[in-house]
Amino acid sequence: MDSLPDAILQYILSHLSNARDVAACNCVSKRWSESLTYLRSLYFPRNSFDSRSGSYSSDTVVWKMLSATACLEELVVYSPFTSAGLASWLSLVHSSLKDLELRMDNVMDYQACLDSPSKLDCIAAAKKLKSLKLWGVLMANPPKWDVFENLLCLEIVGARLEDPALSAALGACPNLTNLVLLGCEGVRSVSIELPYLEHCKLDFYGSGNCSLSLTCPQIELLEVQGCSWIRVRETSCLRNLSIANNAGKHSTYDPGMLFSQLCRILIIALLCDALGRVYMVDFGKLSALESLSMRGVQWCWDAISKMLEWSNEVKHLYMKVEFTGDLEALLPFPEVDFVEFFNSHPKLQKFDIHGAMFAALCQKNSLKNVEPGFVIPCLEEVVVQVRSPLNAEQKMNTLESLLKYGKNLKKMVIRILQMKSSHSSTDEFFDEICRLRFMNRKIVRIE
């Protein structure tokens, strides 16, 4: 390394990011220390200062490392810090900083909201940010932000939010193309108007009765969890849509938990299905939609039927809704006509059917309108979840019809889930499924 020209040494060391590695290289020689001026990124893990010795505080150590850089573009801090420390850091690097990621650790600390300036307020100094990611945030009051003209990506994970504070934060980011709000509590009504937004993922904790209004003409991907009333005004570009309402009390974010624990809790919260209801949806024609996912314990049938009507161009449909009905009444799906359904979705290539939707396609009269010449033209893959041997004959007829009329069907997965073996018809039903698998072994698989 000593024989390398300065330019090459600077180039190599500029690709370091972990603060511990940078500190170690800084002690090698004066030449190496001076080369670290060209660092582009600095990352401070959670345990960066666990074994710290000396009189300097962690805020001061970070400040000294930042002061040695000339053009830092990315700063990631998971270690504890104060609002005063953050303000001092950003005063050094605000002119070049593009990406900022902070573990705020104040989601339970209401006193922190009274600090002046608060940690959130301090971020206003980094006016040239393109990406901002915050973990463990308490946003009870509107942050004192000016407009972030260059900010394209905003991610907030594990947060307690008040409606006015969230509205003010989004208003300061008018040019966002990517918005992610995961594991957010306290939100009751959300209105998002962002003309350039393309990707949006929203996950709200609580009672599940949040309302969402979204006006984003460029939106291409939308994932919504925890909303009962959803209105999206402009959908001409929307290609991927996922709606779920898995409401209920999730584990609360704890400032002392490990980063990996927080990630695990958030993943579980996103995947688990607890009681939640979707009452109203208003999307209009979904002419560009390719993928639609509907999940939750209960949806009003009006919401389900409208989504199916608007998404007649969809290629991938995932349905895991257990009940319909209004308010507290949990009702089964009404009968769905097999022919009408597939004629209404001629481009459907992959169909994941779980629970009530499969049962609705297996009613006594679901197949009565099948006529000679009927085909399902584009269907290539079907995933069916079967829980009960009840209505076994109609279920087998529906499975056989999918194989018969799906001329391009390449794969059918039948998932047997929690079927009670004590029922008298269970063994016979399972034998029929195995027979179907044997007769169509190139296509059918049992899980």
User: Who wins on pLDDT, 49 or 111?
Assistant: 49
Q: What integer is the mean pLDDT of 48-70?
A: 83
User: Who wins on pLDDT, 248 or 346?
Assistant: 346
Q: Can you give the pLDDT at residue 22?
A: 76
Q: What integer is the mean pLDDT of 115-134?
A: 92
Q: What integer is the mean pLDDT of 368-377?
A: 90
Q: What integer is the mean pLDDT of 156-177?
A: 95
pLDDT above 80: residue 25: no
Return the residue matching tokens 């698998």.
437
55 Cβ neighbours under 8 A, 6+ residues apart? none
pLDDT above 50: residue 268: no
pLDDT above 90: residue 270: no
Greatest mean pLDDT range, 17-21, 114-118, 199-203, 423-427: 199-203
The closest alpha carbon to 276, from 293, 292, 295, belongs to 295
Q: Can you give the pLDDT at residue 109?
A: 62
User: Who wins on pLDDT, 265 or 30?
Assistant: 30
The closest alpha carbon to 333, from 292, 307, 302, 312, belongs to 302
395 Cβ neighbours under 8 A, 6+ residues apart? 358, 362, 386, 429
pLDDT above 90: residue 267: no
Return the residue matching tokens 């666990």.
50
Pair 165, 190: CB distance under 8 Å: no
pLDDT above 60: residue 337: yes
Q: What integer is the mean pLDDT of 288-307?
A: 94
Q: Can you give the pLDDT at residue 249?
A: 39
The closest alpha carbon to 430, from 382, 395, 405, 379, belongs to 395
Q: What integer is the mean pLDDT of 344-369?
A: 91
User: Who wins on pLDDT, 263 or 277?
Assistant: 277
Identify any residues that bridge with 245 across adjacent strands, giving them in sequence order: 296
Mean pLDDT rounded to a whole number for the chain: 86
State pTM to two decimals.
0.87
pLDDT above 50: residue 228: yes
Lowest mean pLDDT among 17-21, 132-136, 339-343, 402-406: 17-21
- The burial class, CB within 10 Å (0-12 / 13-18 / 19+), for 2 is exposed
Return the residue matching tokens 């850091």.
89
